[in-house]
Structure formats: C-alpha cells, structure tokens
A and B are shown apart, each in its own frame.
Chain A
Amino acid sequence: MAGTQVREAPVAGGVRTRTRWGDFRQAFFGNKLAVVGLVVIALFVVMAVFAPLLAPYDPIRDQNLTERFAGPSASHPLGQDELGRDILSRIIFGARVSLTAGLAAVVFATVFGTLVGVVAGYAGGLVDSILMRLMDIILAFPSILLAIVIVSILGQGLTNALLAVGVVLLPQIARVVRSSVISIRERDYVEAERAIGASDAQIVFAAILPNSLAPLIVQSTLALATAILDVAALSFLGLGAQPPQPEWGAMLTDAFRSGFGVFTEGQHAIIFPGVAIALSVLAVNFIGDGLRDALDPRRQR
C-alpha cells in the first residue's frame, strides 16, 4: 500500500493524529442518512440469514386458497397473497434471493469492469480504443432492453437475469476505473515503482489499484442500488426468478398477473413487496452517497 499512506503529523502534546481512515470514519458516521442506510441494510441481512427462524410460515408450501388476498391480521401481519401464502414470510425469504442476486450482479460487474478498466487505462492506445468502443456499444442500448435480450439468449431464470444485469452495469465500472487509472498512471510514485524495476502486474496491484479504490467503491455501491432494481424489473417481466420462488420483483408479477382483482382486494400484496425493494435500494443509495461524500475530499465541508 505504498501510495496510500498519509504522512502523519508530528504528535506533540495532545494533538491527535489524523489518519485517512479516521477522517473517513468521521465523515461517514457523521452523515445521519448513511448511518440509517447501514442500519437498514444490516437488518435486511439479518433477515436474510435467519429467514427460517424469523419467518412464521413456509414461503412456498403454506398455501390456502380460501384465504386468497386476505388482508393483514394478527396471524398474518402483512396479509396473504393470491395463493393465500403469508406475505411477511415471503418477503423475509425474498431478502435472500433479491439481495444476493443484486450483490452477485454487482460483484460480476465490478470484477470484470475493473479488469476492462485497468487494461484499457494502463495499456492505452489501440487496446484502450477497442475496449472503450465496446463499452460505448453496450451503453448505446437501453439497459433493460439489453438485459432482456441477454436473458432471452441464456434462458429465463434468476442466475441468467443477474448475469445480464452484471453485463449491463459493467461499462459504468470500467469507465470509472479507466479514468482513475489514467490519472494515476503518470504520477511520480508509479514512475518510482517502474524505476525500481517493478513489473506491470506489480505496478497495477501495488500502486494503481489501491489508489483507484475510492471511486470504485462509490460506483459499485451505487451500482448495487441499480442492480437490485434491475433484477426485480427482469423478474417482473417474467425473465428472472420463476414462481413459486419468493423474490420481491416476482411477488409483484405474480400478484399483477393474477388479474385486476389484486388492485381491489389484494392491495397489500402490491404494497409490501415493493416497500421491501424501495427500502433496501434507498438504504444502499444512502450508503453510496455517504461514501462518496466521505471519500471525495473536494466534497467535504
């Protein structure tokens, strides 16, 4: 981590040492919305991990057609869906599916986007031109449409849907990484690494990547918000999670496709899964905004 160390101020009589981590912590945790976001996401993660313990009913098997669209009650706090299943249990189990899918899509986009960005930015020239034009072509498609075409090729299903979302998000990450690699490539400390005979791989991993982490972390966090929304949208179009899998977007589709009755009798079956999506995405956006403010020195007040 040669490049990331900040020269510490001389410690004299009670003067507190400022470190980069300390500055970051202070800025991030001083941001109320970011902390709220972190708490909400933590709750969702706990929900996902302990779903079998927390959910009062089985999300798939406990059907009861006589209680179709029964409203919220003491035994079913969020009501029942078009097959009489407990909506709360399905949302709790859905956290596993929806959040993991969004996260997986972003991990895919981050890993390959970073690879493309580093190669393009570090190599420059023809390689750079070819890779970035390729990214431009992906960006020229409306992202949902491209994702739909990719899922159509790979076949319906959650795994393919998250891969499609990953591909669609990849260019954003690649662009951010490329631009920070280009700005770092010519710095003195990179020159120094080169002078002492470091290989390209060593330069990239020791000097360039650690210094482009801040924008990458921010971009990936914001991409996670988009990923959760896009995976839900694909599920809504019937291309992602398939029934009876409890996934938030798919819960909305299943309710919507059960007929107009959902709008009159089953309003809770529409409201709650959407609240779960919106709440988790909002929390991620709060965290992303907090990270951006904390990591970008120009934005600090």
Chain B
Amino acid sequence: MITFIGRRLLQLIPVLFGVSLVVFFMVRAIPGDPAQILLGQTATPEAVAEVRTRLGLDEPVIVQYLLFLRDAATGDLGDSLVEGKPVTTALLEKFPATLELALAALLFAVVIGVPIGVIAAVRQYSFLDRITSVIALTGVSMPIFWLAMILVVIFTVNLGLLPFPGRVGNEVSFTSYTGIYTLDTLITLNFPAFWDVLKHLIMPAVALGTIPMAVITRMTRSSMLEVMNEDYVRTARAKGVVPWRVVFRHALRNAMLPTVTVIGLQFGLLMGGAILTETIFTWNGIGQFAIQSIDGRDYAGIQGVVLYGAIFFVLINLLVDVLYAILDPRVRL
C-alpha cells in the first residue's frame, strides 16, 4: 500500500506541471493590467510602471513562468494582490470556511442520499422507488444558485427560522482557533454561538449538497440492486437472517464501495459549486476569493486556487482508493 500511495503522489508532479502551465498562461491572457487595477484608474503611468516592475510583470512571460516554477518548487506561490499577503497564507485563512461548508454539504448528501437509495432498491419498482428516481433527477436538474435563493425565501423571509447572509450573526462573539466555526464554538463550549453558527450553515450546506445527494441516491440504489442479486445475499436470506440484517450487514456494506468512489468525485464538484453558493450567502471562503482574484487580475491568487484545488482533488481521490482497499479486503493496492 505504501508503494501504491508513493506512486500516486509521484503522478501528481506531471499533473501539477501541466495544470500550472495552462493556468499560468491563461490568467495572463485575461485582458487588464493587474498594476492598473491595483492602483485604480487615476494612477500615473509612472506609478503603474513601477508596480509592474515590482511585480515582475516586465519580464518576458516565459521568464516569469520559469521564475514561478523556481519559487513554486520551494512552496512559494507568490503574493496575492487582492489580499496583500502570500497566496498560501491567504488560502489557508479562507480554506476552513469552504471546508466546513463542503463537509456539511457532504454530510447532508450522505445522511439523506444513502438511506433513500437503500429504500428505493429494497422496494424496487414500488411507488416509493419511482418517486425517488424522479426526485434524484430533479436534484441534479436544479441550478444551485436558484435553490439557494428559494431556501432564503422559504426559511428566512417566510418562516423566519434561519439567518441570512454570512457565517455568523453580528451579536455573537467567540474565539476562533481552527476557522471551522462549528468546531470552534463546540470546543469552547459556547453553545449559544454554536447554535447561531449552525443555523447559518444549514441553507448553504443544503444548497451545495443537493446535487451530491441526488447522485449518491442514484448510485446507492443501483449498486444495492446489483448486490441484492449476489449469491451471498441469497444465502443469507435462505439461512433465515432477518431481512433488515441482510440489507444492512450483507448488502449495504458491499454496495457502499461504488458509492464511496462517487463521494470522492463529488468533492471536486463541491469546490466548483462553492463559488456559486458562497456568492449568494456572502460566505468568505475560497470560492469568493477565486472570484475576487479574477476580478482583480490577481495572477498569483488564481494560480494558487487552481493548483491547490488540483492537489486537493488528487489527494481526495487517493484517500478514496485507500478507503476502498480498507472497506474491501479483496482489493489489493
């Protein structure tokens, strides 16, 4: 397994090289001068020229790329113009907000999606099964920014149950250690703050989690159907194991394998969906940072988002493969 993980990590190098090459030249093809945008329209040409020199934008692009590679090899991705600090630092500050949102979305997706998928498979062709497949298709057909707005209409405006927008109410204060607010408020036992933070998290998480929920439901249903026809399930039934035990112990454990893979793939989509969700809920995370750095022609910022995004995506899928081997002893890495 160690050699497998090592090999996969080595494969990251060419992927990152290719991604960095593409993103480096693409961001520089975006019209607009970062120095001009940074200083504003009223800046003198001399001041703009000076900033350009300071940012290294006077060098030929290919030289800029080689310099970027040299620094990147030591873990230095340059300074973000928008945030005025090293990109890695800026992203580390934003990351917990997006991670909290993505994990909550995934939790929603799994907690709702897996049981519905199981029920649909156990009662195949029933009314419940048909409804499930229509709901699952509806889930992947909804624009998430629209779903987010509808949730606000229902739960904030009409029912007055959930707060909007932001991550936390103005009147609430707590010390943040991890940047993951639900965790911060829990470890400091600040329950009123925890309750407030949790209420802020629900709508964005549901909006972001609906597509993965639908995908997980469909995947669970179809892999459950496949597994329910296997010999060992029939054997379990034949020897008189109670039905719920057959479903949960014998079938579901094996049916979860493809579902786990799908969950891993969803993480990449979640990162993209976070851009839309964070825009609606003014959620100060990576998605908002991505939009701001494109608007501000923050080359280092965009490169940072994309490169770390690619690393994260590859690592998640590696984790999924390892998990796969742990769940299924037949799989040898």
Give chain A's interface residues, CB within 8 Å of chain B.
33, 133, 136-137, 140-145, 148-150, 152-153, 155, 225, 229, 232-233, 236-237, 249, 252, 256, 263-264, 267, 270-271, 273-274, 277-278, 281-282, 285-286, 289
CA gap between A246 and B90 in the complex, in Å: 38
Of A136, A153, A274, which one neighbours B29 at CB under 8 angstroms? Answer: A153
Of A133, A137, A264, A281, which one neighbours B141 at CB under 8 angstroms? Answer: A281
CA gap between A288 and B30 in the complex, in Å: 36
Q: List residues of chain A with CB within 8 A of the CB of B149.
A: 252, 256, 263, 270, 274
* Other A-B pairs beyond A33-B134, A142-B269, 7, CB < 8 Å: A140-B313, A141-B19, A144-B273, A145-B271, A236-B145, A252-B149, A271-B153
The interface centre, meaning the residue of B14, B22, B134, B141 with most chain A CB atoms within 10 A of its CB, is B141
10 contacts between A and B (CB under 8 A): A33-B137, A140-B18, A142-B272, A142-B275, A145-B290, A263-B153, A270-B146, A270-B153, A271-B153, A282-B137
Asked whether A145 lies within 8 Å of B145 as measured between CB atoms, the reply is no
CA gap between A264 and B154 in the complex, in Å: 10
Q: Is B305 an interface residue (CB 8 A)?
A: yes
Least CB separation from A289: chain B residue: B137
Asked whether B18 lies within 8 Å of A137 as measured between CB atoms, the reply is yes
Smallest Cβ distance from B16 to chain A, in angstroms? Answer: 9
Of B14, B150, B275, which one neighbours A144 at CB under 8 angstroms? Answer: B275
Asked whether B156 lies within 8 Å of A263 as measured between CB atoms, the reply is yes
Asked whether B143 lies within 8 Å of A274 as measured between CB atoms, the reply is yes
Q: Is B64 an interface residue (CB 8 A)?
A: no
Given contacts A140-B19, A149-B302, contact A267 B275 (CB under 8 A): no
Interface residues of B in 263-309 (CB under 8 A from A): 268-269, 271-273, 275-276, 279-280, 290-291, 294, 302, 305-306, 309
Least CB separation from B290: chain A residue: A145
Smallest Cβ distance from B300 to chain A, in angstroms? Answer: 14
Q: Chain A contact residues: over half helix, strand or loop, or mixed?
A: helix
Smallest Cβ distance from B106 to chain A, in angstroms? Answer: 16
How many A-B pairs fall under 8 Å by CB?
A: 120
Give chain B's interface residues, CB within 8 Å of chain A.
14-15, 18-19, 22-23, 26-27, 29-31, 134, 137-138, 140-143, 145-147, 149-150, 152-153, 156-157, 268-269, 271-273, 275-276, 279-280, 290-291, 294, 302, 305-306, 309-310, 313-314
Q: List residues of chain B with CB within 8 A of the CB of A142.
A: 268-269, 271-272, 275, 309
CA gap between A152 and B269 in the complex, in Å: 21
The interface centre, meaning the residue of A133, A143, A273, A274 with most chain B CB atoms within 10 A of its CB, is A274
Asked whether A145 lies within 8 Å of B150 as measured between CB atoms, the reply is no
Q: List residues of chain A with CB within 8 A of the CB of B23.
A: 141, 149
Of B15, B30, B279, B280, which one neighbours A152 at CB under 8 angstroms? Answer: B30
Asked whether B272 lies within 8 Å of A232 as measured between CB atoms, the reply is no
Q: List residues of chain A with CB within 8 A of the CB of B30.
A: 149, 152-153
Of B29, B141, B269, B280, which one neighbours A285 at CB under 8 angstroms? Answer: B141
Of B138, B142, B271, B291, which one neighbours A237 at CB under 8 angstroms? Answer: B291
